[in-house]
Structure 1
């Protein structure tokens, strides 16, 4: 066995050797739970789910950590009097969980929330201050910044020179010694609620974004671990800053860095301004979740996916061909008593070679579809024994990819339905709130009546409307 991966820091394909024999420690940047997940979030989660499954198939014990950033500028910006920031964060976190479950993403070994990890962040910040890699702003705000100039290795992840970098935009420049410095701790601001503030040696406040992942990875994986993953858009500044602050504190941090490509829509980057964002709930409603998984996983994890109308139709056709062969071969074996049922088999060598080579799922799918083609040919020729063996090989490959039809039970279909239902109910509640704001109470009542007729109970609370079935 020799697994190779593309290390973003080395900018090269490298052999993967675990720090500890037989074990893999993986940390993946999870969602900032500010708003509903889109298909890019699903694609990123799936990429590391596939990595995890392949490491596990190869006999490695994987500790998989994916965090939840539940305190952040954007989370606070999306709060309101009716829905506090922590309620926004929890509601959106549940949306992400429903999307992951519907797509067959395995639950992480640990899924820490930033708000539950504040002590570890403060400990790491104190270490950086003691080593003169961080400083307390002298303007009385209580802000603490990492000093980019103090760390000569800053920029190694993205192969940039600090002198060529733009100023950090994660906090006001007031109080910074260098505009490139980034916030480790943000002193409480007047406009922010008391609930979004924690006591610290530098005054009340909350953590900066970057320090969160450094502290959580240290807590759950230790100061050194094998792989740090995330979307390509996180390389700079987030991952660059994580690497700088962790190594400046003395941690070896991640041996390898892995980044997945992004999703574009008909050649354009998804954005709210363009109105082309495709949210997870509507995407999962557009096709069977297993087909969505097939589609999002079919491109190489480092490449971009260009979604266009018809993409899921093509994926449905491809997956249906696989299902058709499996059903046809199972029926033939059942109708031919002299042919013994073929037990579980290892994946074909060609499939394993593709997966070992930087998770080459497209090439692995090629092996799968060739197996299906040969299996159908064997059935056409009446060679049921060969077809049975090829069916077993196909099932082995599908199992590794999380695409075995037998695994897509009512529970995963139900999770997808829950995600769709939640999205539709939230949309209707939004329409009702808009009607109430404009004093169109008749329209607001119609929405309530529609929900009630469908069995959805709506309750108005001081923190906003809540619903249940």
Structure 2
């Protein structure tokens, strides 16, 4: 089954055909780094990380770019509040972004460009638009002339008359049309700024991504992604700028994820119900949160609640416990061939997983395939009879393949369980044999703190996650 992607531009699931065989150029709009990322920011970060992982798993070489907006009104305001410079604010929250996303199992992009590192390219891009008659200067500001780009509105499927009532831009008498949007902002007294042909200033939001896409990936890319709130005006304006300048399609596939609600309410500053990833991870395992984020289809709204989190915990624990039991069972497994019935079940789960991922990256149904594998594996993991090592290894290998795409089982946890915790269990057994009860209790408490519960069974000591 060929990979199909729901393309916001066409409103259909289109078969994915890369511009260059075996390679994918992908750009996702990153955060404005004036604060910790919130769980709404985390959804595209996690989902597009899975998109990238899956593309790589089926053989593509992916060049993945995620930008940082490190200068805008929010950063200027934050710097004033903190009594520091704008670059200092940006440096702080870029670092916090890396910490939070690493905890969530999100792999670093191929490139994480910053706006301030690409000012030359941004100014050159605006100048080129001006030369083509697509931009004009007014009082130190520069605007894009939307009337000169006939396809403006094609992504959001709105015409210029409709956009006049819905576009989120300031009314400015200097503009030729209400729909025209800013490319360059003249600096206000005391603001951070850069020299340009139009005076001191800084770029508008939309032009930044157009310039960085072109610099790092070229005139046309394979996939451009972001939250659905970016489709208009941000991505609409990117298309106008980039395609107006180059005459080529900016991106072949446009992907947008749905919103994250909090207890069935839209997350907003006015409601004060936002949750930062930094705060959330103080009380919730990152793998549980990642699992929750992937448990709903990316294009649908996702509701964050205590009930949803508990459900995610329980579901993830089923997978983790199965894998842990398989690893334990491997220690006593016999040599031999793979059981044929098990091989068929693994192939079926594998095929189901791939089919669902090929169907517009349907992660909830792909997770269902993981549970099909759990159901097939549990009789072997918990069997008191003889099981071949080849059978257990086949199961563990398929879990690893699926997890390499979804990233819901932390590699660090697997490494800990295979080495340090197993050694502690051996040490505790010896302490009990020699009646060193204090040391035995100390080790049990240490393992409990690490989320490992010990169970004495007829086959020996078993462990499971809390």
TM-score (norm 1): 0.82
Q: In structure 2, what is the equivalent of residue 425 of structure 1?
A: none
Q: In structure 1, what is the equivalent of residue 240 of structure 2?
A: 244
- 1:376–1:387 contact (8 Å) kept in structure 2: no
1:387 shift after superposition:
5.0
Cα gap change, 1:392/1:383 in structure 2, threshold over 3 Å: closer, same or farther? Answer: farther
1:321-400 map, 5 Å = 321-339=318-336, 348-379=350-381, 382=385, 384-385=387-388, 386-400=391-405
Indicate which of 271, 274, 283 corresponds to 2:280. Answer: 283
**1:142 maps onto 2:140 in alignment:** yes
1:367 shift after superposition:
0.7
- 2:30–2:67 contact (8 Å) kept in structure 1: yes
1:172 shift after superposition:
5.4
**1:263 maps onto 2:255 in alignment:** no
Whole-angstrom CA distance in 1 between matches of 2:261 and 2:401: 31
1:171 shift after superposition:
4.7
Between Structure 1 and Structure 2, whose CA radius of gyration is higher? Answer: 2
1:389 shift after superposition:
3.0
C-alpha offsets along residues 378-427 of structure 1, whole Å, 9 cap, x if unaligned? 4456473455533332222112211344344789xxxxxxxxxxxxxxxx
C-alpha offsets along residues 273-327 of structure 1, whole Å, 9 cap, x if unaligned? 2121111112112221122211112211111110111322221211111111112
- 1:9–1:157 contact (8 Å) kept in structure 2: yes
Whole-angstrom CA distance in 2 between matches of 1:409 and 1:331: 12
Q: In structure 2, what is the equivalent of residue 76 of structure 1?
A: 76
Number of aligned residue pairs: give it.
404
Deviates more, 1:381-390 or 1:276-285: 381-390
Cα gap change, 1:257/1:267 in structure 2, threshold over 3 Å: closer, same or farther? Answer: same
Q: In structure 1, what is the equivalent of residue 158 of structure 2?
A: 160
- 2:29–2:226 contact (8 Å) kept in structure 1: yes
- 2:334–2:387 contact (8 Å) kept in structure 1: no
- 2:326–2:380 contact (8 Å) kept in structure 1: no
Aligned residue for 1:310, secondary structure, equals helix
Cα gap change, 1:169/1:189 in structure 2, threshold over 3 Å: closer, same or farther? Answer: farther
**1:307 maps onto 2:304 in alignment:** yes
- 2:140–2:198 contact (8 Å) kept in structure 1: yes
Unaligned runs of 5+ residues in structure 2 are 417-466
1:203 shift after superposition:
1.2
Aligned residue for 2:133, secondary structure, equals coil
Q: In structure 1, what is the equivalent of residue 223 of structure 2?
A: 227
Q: In structure 1, what is the equivalent of residue 175 of structure 2?
A: 176
RMSD over aligned Cα, in angstroms?
Answer: 2.2
Aligned residue for 2:79, secondary structure, equals coil
TM-score (norm 2): 0.82
Aligned residue for 1:117, secondary structure, equals helix
C-alpha offsets along residues 31-87 of structure 1, whole Å, 9 cap, x if unaligned? 011222101111110010000000000100000000000011221122217122222
1:95 shift after superposition:
1.6
Aligned residue for 2:65, secondary structure, equals strand
